[in-house]
């Protein structure tokens, strides 16, 4: 009897505990479900906010915004052609009129090297990948008296639509010349790249370009391009042809070709290339007669070689009438005798990535045109050699968007006007801004 009573009491105790345990389990599950619902609701709100902030395009393709906002503080020890982004040193003195009496140096600040870019990508177009981008800056300035460098205006730099397949590419847009597509790195010369008029042919030109290449450890490529004809000289003439460049008057486009070899990672390959350029200028004669046809030509070689943390970039060229490709001949097409300027030049730069946030390096460039120097007066003023050397430091503090760049440059330009003289200037540039 006693045993039966104990068993009944034990059974009642167990039955009394089971609801408490089940109730606790149900409470724990409900709490977890509530936390999950709160997390899902938070995620839904974040996705909704992201969707509202997302830039929407008419064609519904992915769009990215990229750019760099910079304020450049600059100082020059001598007279240069452009104070904030100098390319060569100006001549002065009694032998090089007009002789002007004012301080040679300059100092200032500029924000006109700020850049903006839009990039789109589509995975499947004509069986390949479409990449399109448009890049602009504020380097253009208004007319004198309207603010100059402190009120810059928007300027188109490059644009392209590139369709890429495993062994071919097709590009249409405005880009660097195919024959000389490299530019040095740095933050002091973005409006015009470093070593412009000192061995770097860089000018962005409208063009249609095609590339075919092999696959494998070493990838060989063959490229060809048709480019807009451009002499780089101011447009002038009669009312009938005042809107035509002398290269456009030839009624022939520029044509360029290049062979290349690439090896190493696709993201950062080593590359060596050899290119050729051909173009034509229809220049009116001095007596007003029929225009004479002149041939613009160039042969160029380029190299990009990543060597661990070091990267070597270099270009060499030889040719004639190359001002229209970005200042060849130190910005001169024809000599005082009316003959095309034969030109040779090149540049090289070594850049060291010292850490994920710091890089530094330096390089030199030279443009050495061949000009016929008159031996009797009146003597024209000509630039016969331009040399530039630079050293740079780029830091991104904290590995974030902040950018700080420091560059020093020495330029030496040789001028001839009866006598030959060399003029020198040092340029110091501090750039501070951010990337996005």
| Confidence band, pLDDT 50/70/90 cuts, at residue 97 | low
Distance between CA atoms of 337 and 314, rounded to whole angstroms? 33
List, as one string, the DSSP characters of 163-220: EEETTEEEEEEEES-GGG------SS-TTTTTTBTTTB----EEEEEEEEE--SSEEE
Distance between CA atoms of 194 and 361, rounded to whole angstroms? 13
Q: Is the pLDDT of residue 294 over 70?
A: yes
Distance between CA atoms of 74 and 407, rounded to whole angstroms? 10
- Which of 160-164, 248-252, 372-376, 416-420 shows the lowest mean pLDDT across its residues? 372-376
- Exposed e or buried b for every residue in 343-375, given b needs 16+ CB within 10 A? bbbbbbbebebeeeeebebbbbbbbbbebeebe
User: What would the two tokens of residue 152 be?
Assistant: 């810059």
pLDDT tens for residues 186-230? Answer: 999 999 999 999 999 999 999 999 999 999 999 999 999 999 999
Q: Cβ distance 370 to 343 under 8 Å?
A: yes
Which 8-state DSSP code applies to residue 90? Answer: P
Domains in the chain, start-ordered, CATH in brackets?
Answer: 66-435 (2.40.160.10)
Query: Kind and range of the H or E element at 33?
Result: helix 2-53
Using DSSP, state whether 308 is helix, strand or coil.
coil
Distance between CA atoms of 225 and 325, rounded to whole angstroms? 14
Distance between CA atoms of 420 and 235, rounded to whole angstroms? 30
pLDDT tens for residues 327-382? Answer: 999 999 999 888 999 999 999 999 999 999 999 999 999 999 998 877 777 778 89
Could you tell me what percent of the chain has a pLDDT over 70? 84
Q: What average pLDDT does this structure show over 110-123?
A: 94
User: What would the two tokens of residue 365 be?
Assistant: 């460039």
Which pLDDT score is estimated for 4?
A: 41
| Confidence band, pLDDT 50/70/90 cuts, at residue 11 | very low
Q: Is the pLDDT of residue 168 over 90?
A: yes
The angle formed by the CA atoms of residues 127, 132 and 137, to the nearest 5 degrees, is 170
Spatial CA neighbour of 93 closest among 101, 84, 83, 85: 101
Which pLDDT score is estimated for 374?
A: 76
User: What would the two tokens of residue 170 be?
Assistant: 């097709």
Which 8-state DSSP code applies to residue 234? Answer: P
Distance between CA atoms of 95 and 75, rounded to whole angstroms? 26
pLDDT tens for residues 75-86? Answer: 999 999 999 999
- Which of 15-19, 56-60, 118-122, 168-172 shows the lowest mean pLDDT across its residues? 15-19
Please give the model's pTM, rounded to 2 decimal places. Answer: 0.83
Query: Kind and range of the H or E element at 279?
Result: strand 270-283
Distance between CA atoms of 197 and 89, rounded to whole angstroms? 11
Distance between CA atoms of 293 and 227, rounded to whole angstroms? 18
User: What would the two tokens of residue 245 be?
Assistant: 């460049």
What is the CB neighbour count within 10 angstroms for residue 64?
11
Distance between CA atoms of 311 and 264, rounded to whole angstroms? 13
Q: What average pLDDT does this structure show over 391-404?
A: 91
- Exposed e or buried b for every residue in 77-93, given b needs 16+ CB within 10 A? bbbbeebbbbbbbbbbe
Q: Cβ distance 394 to 405 under 8 Å?
A: yes
């Amino acid at each position: 009897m006693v045993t039966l009573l104990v068993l009944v009491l034990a059974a009642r105790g167990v039955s009394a505990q089971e609801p408490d345990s089940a109730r606790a389990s149900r409470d724990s599950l409900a709490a977890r479900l509530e936390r999950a619902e709160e997390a899902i609701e938070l995620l839904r709100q974040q996705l909704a906010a992201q969707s509202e902030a997302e830039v929407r395009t008419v064609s519904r393709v992915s769009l990215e915004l990229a750019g760099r906002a910079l304020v450049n503080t600059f100082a020059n020890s001598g007279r240069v052609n452009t104070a904030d982004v100098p390319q060569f040193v100006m001549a002065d003195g009694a032998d090089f009129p007009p002789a002007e009496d004012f301080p040679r140096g300059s100092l200032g600040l500029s924000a006109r090297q700020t850049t903006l870019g839009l990039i789109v990508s589509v995975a499947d177009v004509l069986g390949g990948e479409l990449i399109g981008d448009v890049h602009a800056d504020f380097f253009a300035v208004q007319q004198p008296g309207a603010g100059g460098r402190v009120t810059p205006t928007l300027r188109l730099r490059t644009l392209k639509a590139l369709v890429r397949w495993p062994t071919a590419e097709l590009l249409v847009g405005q880009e660097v010349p195919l024959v000389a597509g490299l530019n040095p790195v740095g933050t002091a010369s973005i409006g015009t790249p470093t070593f412009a008029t000192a061995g770097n042919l860089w000018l962005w030109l409208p063009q249609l370009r095609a590339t075919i290449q092999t696959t494998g450890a070493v990838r060989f490529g063959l490229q060809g391009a048709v480019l807009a004809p451009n002499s780089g000289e101011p447009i002038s003439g009669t009312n009938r042809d005042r809107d035509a460049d002398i290269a456009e008057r030839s009624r022939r486009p520029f044509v360029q070709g290049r062979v290349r070899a690439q090896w190493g990672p696709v993201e950062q390959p080593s590359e060596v290339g050899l290119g050729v350029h051909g173009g034509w200028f229809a220049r009116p004669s001095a007596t007003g007669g029929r225009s004479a046809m002149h041939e613009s030509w160039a042969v160029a070689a380029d190299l990009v070689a990543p060597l661990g943390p070091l990267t070597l970039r270099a270009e060499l060229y030889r040719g004639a009438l190359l001002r229209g490709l970005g200042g060849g001949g130190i910005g001169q097409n024809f000599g005082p005798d009316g003959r095309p300027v034969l030109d040779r030049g090149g540049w090289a730069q070594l850049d060291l990535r010292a850490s994920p946030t710091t890089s530094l390096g330096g390089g030199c460039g030279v443009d050495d045109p061949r000009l016929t120097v008159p031996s009797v007066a009146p003597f024209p003023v000509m630039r016969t050699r331009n040399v530039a050397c630079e050293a740079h430091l780029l830091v991104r503090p904290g590995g974030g968007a902040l950018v700080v760049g420091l560059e020093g440059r020495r330029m030496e330009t040789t001028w001839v006007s009866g006598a030959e003289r060399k003029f020198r200037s040092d340029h110091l540039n501090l750039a501070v801004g951010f990337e996005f």
